[in-house]
Structure 1
Amino acid sequence: MIRLNQILLTLFVSCSMLLTATAQSDDRFEKIENQKIAYITKHLNITTSEAQRFFPLYNQYSKSMQNIKSAKSNLRSHQHEHQNSDMIEFDSKEVELKKQYRNKFAEVIGAARASQFFMVEQEFKDMLYREWQSRQNR
């Protein structure tokens, strides 16, 4: 019964993410993002009711983090034009954003799972990287 609930939850979350995806989204990106959501749901044991509140927050967090990383990347590519800019400022912004959203996530899924979220997210990224590497070595 619990397994069925997790499968239904994963399908629900995946479908809702597909419906809210922007028209410019690359099909591959959507698939990866859906896999990430399913991975997070499974590893944090997020219930259906928690998912309805958690994933809108997650989407906000993800968008904000992407904006910071994009600005950081842009600075890196134009470093010669911005000699006074400090990359540590962007690292600090990332940490502050994580702290802010850890508190928001904790209101929905509890403090322990909110803290664990960042580890689960990194595990997923590591898994993707290993997959990519294995494809490159074929």
Structure 2
Amino acid sequence: MNKILLCIGIAFVSLNAIGQNPAGEKIKAFKVAYITEQLNLSSKEAQQFWPIYNTHEETLEKLKKEERKLIRALKDANEGSDGLSDRQAGEFLSNYLEAETQKTQARKTLIKDLQTVISNKKILRLIKAENDFNKRLLERIRQWRNRRND
């Protein structure tokens, strides 16, 4: 139990939560706790793991922010008087593909960096834990929306 609390504490110290809302902070805290529990990191592993993982999460957040900007710009362009030209559509596709490439590269970098810190088995557990966490989060959101709509 103390090991889990230590890991969570280290993760929180490492987090750079800039401009996040309280709900986002709660989700991030639950994710940290869930991943910590699923990976069963030693204290030494946790000290090395969380800075790498948090840097990756920050990178992904920046890429997602750019992607949201792109989607808003696409929506605005489509709502214009003439809509989107083929050239503009090509630019949007090019930007979208670049963002996807950057996300893939960030994931490759994360895995490569983590291989110096934790075992390959734990990296696979991380991938599964992230997917499981996202599924649980989506299920909770669905349940919350269903209760709100009732």
**TM-score, normalising length from structure 1?**
0.83
1:25, 1:12 → 2: CA distance? 23
Q: Say whether 1:119 aligns with 2:128.
A: yes
Q: Return closer, same or farther for 1:23/1:88 CA change in 2, 3 Å cut-off.
A: closer
The Cα of 1:121 is off from its aligned counterpart by 1.0
Which segments of 5 or more consecutive residues in structure 2 lack a partner in the other structure? 78-83
Alpha-carbon offset, residue 109 of structure 1? 0.8
Rate the CA distance shift 1:23–1:65 in 2: closer, same or farther, 3 A.
closer
1:13 matched to 2:12: no
Alignment of 1:89-128 (within 5 A): 89-128=98-137
Q: Tell me, in whole angstroms, the C-alpha distance in 2 between the residues paired with 1:33 and 1:18.
A: 9
Change (3 A) 1:127 1:67: same
The alignment partner of 1:64 has SS state of: helix
Distance in 2, matches of 1:124 and 1:60, equals 19
Other structure's SS at 1:109 match:
coil
Amino acid at match of 1:33: K
Distance 1:102 1:133 in 2: 31
- Highest relative contact order (Cα 8 Å, sep 6+), 1 or 2? 2
Question: Corresponding residue for 1:77?
Answer: 72
d(CA) in 1 for partners of 2:66, 2:4: 32
Answering whether residue 51 of structure 2 is matched by residue 42 of structure 1, we say no
Q: Give me the TM-score of the superposition, normalised by structure 2.
A: 0.77
RMSD of aligned Cα (Å): 2.0
Unaligned runs of 5+ in 1: 1-6
Output one character per residue of 1:15-49: Cα deviation in whole Å (capped at 9) or x when no partner. 34444554744222222111111111111221111
The structure that has the greater radius of gyration is: 2
Identity %: 22
How many positions carry a matched residue from both structures? Answer: 132
